[in-house]
Copies of this chain bind each other. A is one copy, B any other.
Amino acid sequence: MIESRSIDRYFQAMADPYRRGFIERLSEGPASVKELAAPADVQLPAVLKHLRVLEDGGIVVSEKVGRVRTYRMRPDAFNAMTTWIEQRQRDMNAAFDRLAAAMAQVPEEKDH
C-alpha cells in the first residue's frame, strides 16, 4: 500500500495550474528547464520551485547533461492516484447496486 504522505504529495503536485501546465508539456515528451520556462509567465526561480515539487512528488525525473537539465515524466506518474480513484469508484458502484437492490424489494404501492 502506498504511504498516505506520498499520495498527499501526488495530489498536491497537481493542485496548481503552472505545475499541471508543465505536466501537460512533459507528457508530450522530455523538455529542458529553458523550454519549460519559455511559455510560462513566471520567473525562472518559480519554475524551478514548481519542478522540484513535481520531482519530490514522484511525477517527473530530471537528468543534467553538461549545463542542461532535462525533465521527463515518470511512466508510473499517475498510478497512485488512479489506483486510489478506481477503488473509490468501485465502492460507489457497489453502494449504488445495494441501493438499487433494496429499492427493488420495496413493493410498488401503486399496484395495490
Contact = CB atoms under 8 A, between A and B. Distances in A.
Contacts of A81: 14, 81, 85
Q: Identify whether the interface residues of A are mostly helix, strand, loop, or mixed.
A: helix
A44 to B, nearest CB: 22
Interface in A7-23: 7-9, 11-12, 14-17, 20, 23
7 contacts: A5-B17, A12-B12, A12-B15, A27-B88, A29-B95, A29-B99, A77-B92
Interface of A: 4-5, 7-9, 11-12, 14-17, 20, 23-24, 27-29, 73, 75, 77-78, 81-82, 84-85, 88-89, 91-92, 94-95, 98-99
